[in-house]
Structure formats: C-alpha cells, structure tokens
Amino acid sequence: MNIRKLLLRLILPPPVPTRHRLYSMTLPPDVWKSRPNARLISLALRTVARAQQLELRDLAQRAGDAVNAWPGEHYRLVAALVAELGAKRIVEIGTYQGTAALAMLSQLPSDGRITTFDVIPWRQIQPNVLRDTDFADGRLRQEIADLQDFQTLAQYREVFQGADFIFVDAAKDGIMEQRFIENFRRLTLPRRPLVMFDDVREWKMLRIWNEITEPKLDLTSFGHWTGTGWVDWAPTSQ
C-alpha cells in the first residue's frame, strides 16, 4: 500500500468494512458546470426500466454472474442503452476483457457496428471473454490505437462522427479522459451521441467529470458503483 493510501486510511477510516472501496466527494449543484437536460432524464428513465427486465444470460455463461449484478455493475445498463437508443454505430474506448462489448453486442441490430478501441489486443488480455466467432459477422471489431493523440483519433473520424453512442472506459488517471474530451471537441461529433463515462466518482475523475459543460447526468445509482456518467454531446455546446 502506498503512503497516500495509508494516510487516507488513517485519517478517513472506512465507515464500512470492505475490500473494495474508493474515496470520493459529492458536490452541490451550484458548482456543477452543467446540468441534465430533458433528453438525458427521459432516456435514463426508459433505459433503467429496460435494464430491470434485461438479463444477460449468454454473457453470464462466459463472464460469470457478476454481469447481471445490476445496479452495481453497468453491463445491463449499457445493453439496455443500446436497445433504447436504437444505436447502430457504437464506439468503446477500452475493450479490456470484452465484457461490455459483448453486452452491447447482445442488443445490436444486424446492420449495427461496434468499434472497440484498446492499446492492448484482446487476445493478450488473459482471461478474456471474447472469441473469434464474436467478430465473424462484422458487427464487432477491435482497433488498436491510443486516442489521446488527436492525429490518431482523426484517423477514425468517420467512426467517431458516425457514432450514436460512445463509451469511454480507459485509464481514469486524471489526464487521459480529459484528452479524449478535448479531442472530441476538436473533431466535433455532429450526430449528438450519448457519451458514457465510467468511474466518474473516482477521485481522479471528479474534476474532469465536473468540468464537462455539455448537458450531463450522474447515473451511478443505476450503473457502476464507481460512477456512471452520461453526456448529451449536443452540437450547440461544442
């Protein structure tokens, strides 16, 4: 354990005994840089109702029952969101084991496409839940690219500008997600995608999340326990 974590534990001992935890902070609306709009609120209500009915049975066979632990884990929420948006073009930044990619794929129509980016090819991540057959019909593909670099992201201009839904789930190191946001603004996302950020309650994500000026909604109670944030990437605010 590093000294920072040790000091935190001494100064702020966890009020609940648990192996997993994160320190966070809640902020009042007067410091929020943006607020939820009608689109986000009604989309959230419909998506949550759908997530309640949706069970990821096939995915649970591969990835374990945790994929259906909702709220708490976000897999049912992202699957329900794909269905509710009628999303046909999806971008994920951060494939990792492929669990969220497969959750989204379960609701994708036959003419839909998910492009999932990582800096590490999925085969090199062990264990993972992907199989070659998941890529067979062309709806799912992985690209290896570091999108912090604008020129790299611009090579995928059509993928990003055609997206209905972008799921940002990379390093959460306090820098990377900010770079993605700046790159999205510079590229422009004219289709007004729903952009979902994971881990927005993480200490290192609090500032980045708060600074977003596009309409946004913290949906943590219906998503991932580490924080789930939705942004309506509205063209007027770019």
Ligand X SMILES: C[S@@+](CC[C@H](N)C(=O)[O-])C[C@H]1O[C@@H](n2cnc3c(N)ncnc32)[C@H](O)[C@@H]1O
Question: Which residues sit at the interface with ligand X, rule CB under 6 A?
Answer: 92-97, 99-100, 117-120, 146-148, 169-171, 176
Q: Are the C-beta atoms of residues 122 and 95 closer than 8 Å to each other? A: yes
Instruction: Pick the closer one to ligand X by CB: 215 or 230.
Output: 230
β-strands 194-198, 216-218: how paired? unpaired
CB of 28 to ligand X, least distance (A): 29
Identity (one letter) of the amino acid at 149? Answer: D
Q: Are the C-beta atoms of residues 22 and 201 closer than 8 Å to each other? A: yes
Instruction: Pick the closer one to ligand X by CB: 122 or 215.
Output: 122
Instruction: Pick the closer one to ligand X by CB: 99 or 107.
Output: 99
CB of 229 to ligand X, least distance (A): 14
Q: Calculate the alpha carbon distances from 191 to 159, 164, 212 in Å.
A: 11, 7, 18
CB of 155 to ligand X, least distance (A): 13
CB of 168 to ligand X, least distance (A): 9
Q: What is the DSSP letter of 143?
A: E
CB of 12 to ligand X, least distance (A): 25
Instruction: Pick the closer one to ligand X by CB: 208 or 215.
Output: 208
Instruction: Pick the closer one to ligand X by CB: 92 or 215.
Output: 92
Beta bridge partners of 230: 196, 217
What CA–CA distance (Å, rounded) separates 83 from 80? 5
